[in-house]
Amino acid sequence: MVASLGPMTKTLQDLIDESIFISTEYQARLAELTQGAEWDVDFSAPAFTLQSEPPVRLTPYLLGTDSASRGSWIWSWQELGHFPAVVVSAAVQAREAGEQLGVAELTTDELPAAEGLARRLTLAAKAVTGVYAHYPAGAGGGVTAWLLLEGPELELPELTVERMMRVIAEALTTDTAVDHNLAVDSYAKLRGAHVEWDTEATCVVTVGDGAQRFWFDDHQISGVEPAEPAVGPEVLADLAADARERAEALRAQRREAEAAAAREEAAPPAPRAEEPAGEPEPLEVPGFVAEEPAEPAPAQPREEPVAAGFDDDADRPFDQEPSEREVRPGRVSTTVVPEPVREPAPAAEPAPQPAAEPAPAAEPVREPVGEAEREPVAEREVVAGPAVPGGPSAEPVVEGAEEEEREAEHAEQGERKKGFFSRFFGL
């Protein structure tokens, strides 16, 4: 193997080159599963479900959002606590890898929008997480939430010469790979194949049913021809075991990243820079996030979100940008605990007044989307995140003098969450 293929520090493009071929193969597998099926995602489960027959349920990891109106990419780890730790674990894992490898794009919480940036960040995240399938979920309003997807249904078949050549050919049509030497070397190792480098200009990749020699000119594939296998089945079996061990090591790192996310969530929030003076903008929750009370509430007439299918243009099997045509989002739901809304106390009169009776608990209030102005209320607004019944974020009802203190804390948390979701979803 060429010694320069494994530097201690890497660039974003290095990570993209390492993942591009296997990413292409996983995207093709995901396209086989979708077959135009509708989908929905529930971050509280968490589950990304294809409404096929039978349904296919995958684990989603939210990397971040790309917003045309906001003009930036925001990593989901920018403010932890709004989503379950497992949902943001891959993003946190990518951040930690970026710190180790010196890749600033993985450690900067918000980046100015640029053509193809979201896809490039996603491809780089694949290289350091070992999760190689992704889906850009349209959230409406020019916002796209980029998800990594994982599940046994995405398992790849044994690599053959024909499959390898088809994957590489399809990946190269996107003009994403820059260092083809690195891309071929990485793909062979990830798929348990054997790669033998004679010089930087040529190598032989051996798989179960044969081998191919690749020729390179200035780190670009310039030719391919059949070759004699360099190793036998026993060596390939050992290499396949090595690939599985590397994949398991990345899963272990992701579990550590999940624990780190939970610790950061529990830590006191760092003070944010003061916002410019002016009236705070109300949070407009996009259709991408649907709030579902834990207990039944009186039926209210509302339009149910419609699960979107993969139309022909958007259902692309390979690593390409999502269709410019806006894709309607699937239903995104998170279970939350509704809290009572207290009516504002009446204005104080000059004369002494008897103590007011405690106000009865009101039904949960759903904030209308697009409301120009609203009266600020003290209750916590949980749009999405880990506040499930019985979970660490769920809080008991507090009575007496402590209730006012709790409401003030809820109001502060609500404003902080509103600010994050406004930025995260480009509102």
118 and 14 housed in the same domain: yes
State pLDDT tens for residues 44-99.
Answer: 999 999 988 889 999 999 999 999 888 999 999 987 888 999 999 999 999 999 99
Of residues 4 and 208, more confidence is placed in 208
User: Quick one: tokens of 182?
Assistant: 């690195």
Which residues neighbour 222 within 8 Å (Cβ) at sequence distance 6 or greater? Answer: 215, 216
Task: Say whether pLDDT at 186 is over 70.
Answer: yes
- Reference 128, options 155, 99, 151; nearest CA is 99
* pLDDT value of position 82: 86
- Least confident range of 89-93, 190-194, 302-306, 326-330: 302-306
State pLDDT tens for residues 226-275.
Answer: 999 999 999 999 999 999 999 999 999 999 999 999 998 887 766 655 54
DSSP assignment string, 32-78: HHHTT-BEEEETTTTEEEE--SS-EEEEEEEEEEEETTTTEEEETTS
Residue 133, domain extent: 3-155+287-331
How many residues belong to the chain? 427
5-14, 163-172, 371-380, 400-409: range with highest mean pLDDT:
163-172
Question: 281 lies in a domain?
Answer: no
185 and 58 housed in the same domain: no
53 and 181 housed in the same domain: no
CA distance 318 to 307: 23
Question: 167 lies in a domain?
Answer: yes
Read off the pTM. Answer: 0.68
102 and 166 housed in the same domain: no
Question: 358 lies in a domain?
Answer: no
What are the C-alpha distances in Å from 389 to residues 44, 210, 337, 386, 421? 11, 55, 6, 9, 22
Question: 21 lies in a domain?
Answer: yes
User: Quick one: tokens of 261?
Assistant: 């996310």
Domain count, the chain: 2
pLDDT band at 168 (very low <50, low <70, confident <90, very high): very high
For the chain, counts of helices (H) and of strands (E): 7, 13
Question: 320 lies in a domain?
Answer: yes
Question: 384 lies in a domain?
Answer: no
129 and 178 housed in the same domain: no
What are the C-alpha distances in Å from 25 to residues 9, 313, 370? 26, 19, 41
24 and 120 housed in the same domain: yes
The answer to whether the beta carbons of residues 255 and 90 sit under 8 Å apart is no
Instruction: Please say which residue of 211, 245, 279 terminates a domain.
Output: 245
State pLDDT tens for residues 353-403.
Answer: 544 444 444 444 333 333 333 333 333 333 333 333 333 333 333 344 456
Q: What does the mean pLDDT of the chain come to? A: 75
Of residues 141 and 410, more confidence is placed in 141
124 and 185 housed in the same domain: no
Instruction: Please say which residue of 194, 215, 245 terminates a domain.
Output: 245
190 and 318 housed in the same domain: no
142 and 291 housed in the same domain: yes
* pLDDT value of position 288: 41
State pLDDT tens for residues 341-350.
Answer: 445 555 555 4
